[in-house]
Amino acid sequence: MLFPDYRPRRMRQNEALRRMIRETALSVDDLILPLFTIGGRNVKNPIPSMPGQYQLSIDNLIKVARKAHELKIPAIMLFGIPEAKDPLGTRAYAKDGIVQKAVQSVKEKLPELVVITDVCLCQYTDHGHCGIVQGDIIDNDATLDLLARTALSHARAGADMVAPSDMMDGRVAEIREALDENDFSQVPIMSYAAKYCSSYYGPFRSAADSAPKFGDRRTYQMDPANALEAIREVTMDIEEGADIIMVKPALAYLDIIYRVREEIDLPMAAYNVSGEYAMIKAAEKMGWIDGSRVMMETLTAIKRAGADMILTYFAIEAAQALSVSNFKK
């Protein structure tokens, strides 16, 4: 097919023709909204590096969750900011912990909204690591039981799905076993399977107050230089019982999303993380880019790379844009 016989511009002449040959359709069904919840009442603390995102007390959390539900966003992902931290992160698996209470309230008010909980210890430990610390080492095997307890306590509170983000080896199997032994065999696991040690998490760490107090997460999160290892990580988590696998972050790792899609037939999520959100919001504020178009282009790219679902702080804005019209050039 050579010019002038083939003219690709023929099919780009108007929006109707472009719609007919569009290969990737972003849908509200693809979106998952991450939300931060904190104790108290009528709290709505703005997160400075994430304009439009807040630490929400449960009453306000319900309002945002309801808005998401009304826009037909199928799911939210909950992160908790606890009232106290300690070396073992005990508030992560407390029956009356912030996430446990929030899950209960959201499910009571909005039973059809899927509530996914982030399972990790870093917001709950005083040292800010995702696992138990022995000296300056993050102890993998000693952490597994606490992660399983956390996931189980979320399920008991009514979580529809649990999402371990800690990157300890073997945690999916441990969580699956704990859920199954306690009659939660129907609760799926969305595993943060290929989670990179990324500086794009910066805004999240101030939002969730979860930055490590010493060292970094390089001994458990993946090296950004590695791609083959992502396939091994994903394969392991599937063998351990993951129902959905995740690649995180998304935008700088579209090649990983693509590679995983080529190799793996399980549903795949990608996490459009806080730093990706912050950069678009900041450039928009400077008047340097059209923020909402860059948002839709970004989400479409993540979908085009192969993700089935996208965790994004843009979920509400994107759902609104999708309901107004299809993405127009």
- Contact criterion met (CB below 8 Å) for 254 and 306: no
Q: Looking at beta carbons only, is 60 or 165 nearer to ligand PBG?
A: 165
Neighbouring C-alpha atoms within 13 Å toward the C-beta of 27: 10
- Contact criterion met (CB below 8 Å) for 158 and 187: no
Q: Is 147 in the site for Zn ion (CB under 5 A)?
A: no
- Contact criterion met (CB below 8 Å) for 247 and 193: yes
Q: How far is the CB of 95 from ligand PBG (least distance, A)?
A: 22
Residue spans of alpha helices (H) in the chain: 15-21, 58-70, 98-109, 140-157, 171-181, 202-208, 228-240, 254-263, 274-285, 291-305, 315-324
Q: How far is the CB of 253 from Zn ion (least distance, A)?
A: 18
Q: Looking at beta carbons only, is 80 or 291 nearer to Zn ion?
A: 80
Scanning the structure block, which residue is given the tokens 């080896």?
A: 169
162 binds, among Zn ion, ligand PBG, none (CB under 5 to 8 A by kind): none
Question: Segment contacting ligand PBG (CB under 6 A): 5-13, 149-157, 182-190, 199-207?
Answer: 199-207
Tell me the number of residues near Zn ion by CB under 5 A.
3
Question: Segment contacting ligand PBG (CB under 6 A): 5-13, 115-123, 146-154, 283-291?
Answer: 115-123
Site string for Zn ion, 274-293 (x = CB under 5 A): --------------------
Q: Binding to Zn ion (CB under 5 A): which residues in 79-138?
A: 120, 122, 130
Question: Segment contacting ligand PBG (CB under 6 A): 118-126, 141-149, 151-159, 238-246?
Answer: 118-126
Active-site hit among 72, 107, 109, 195: 195
- Give the H or E element holding residue 118: strand 114-119
- Contact criterion met (CB below 8 Å) for 34 and 76: yes
- DSSP 3-state assignment of 14? coil
Does 109 qualify as catalytic in the annotation? no
Does 303 qualify as catalytic in the annotation? no
Task: Calculate Rg over the CA atoms of the chain.
Answer: 20
Catalytic residues: 195, 248
The footprint of ligand PBG (CB under 6 A) covers: 118, 120, 122, 130, 165-166, 201, 204-205, 210, 217, 273-274
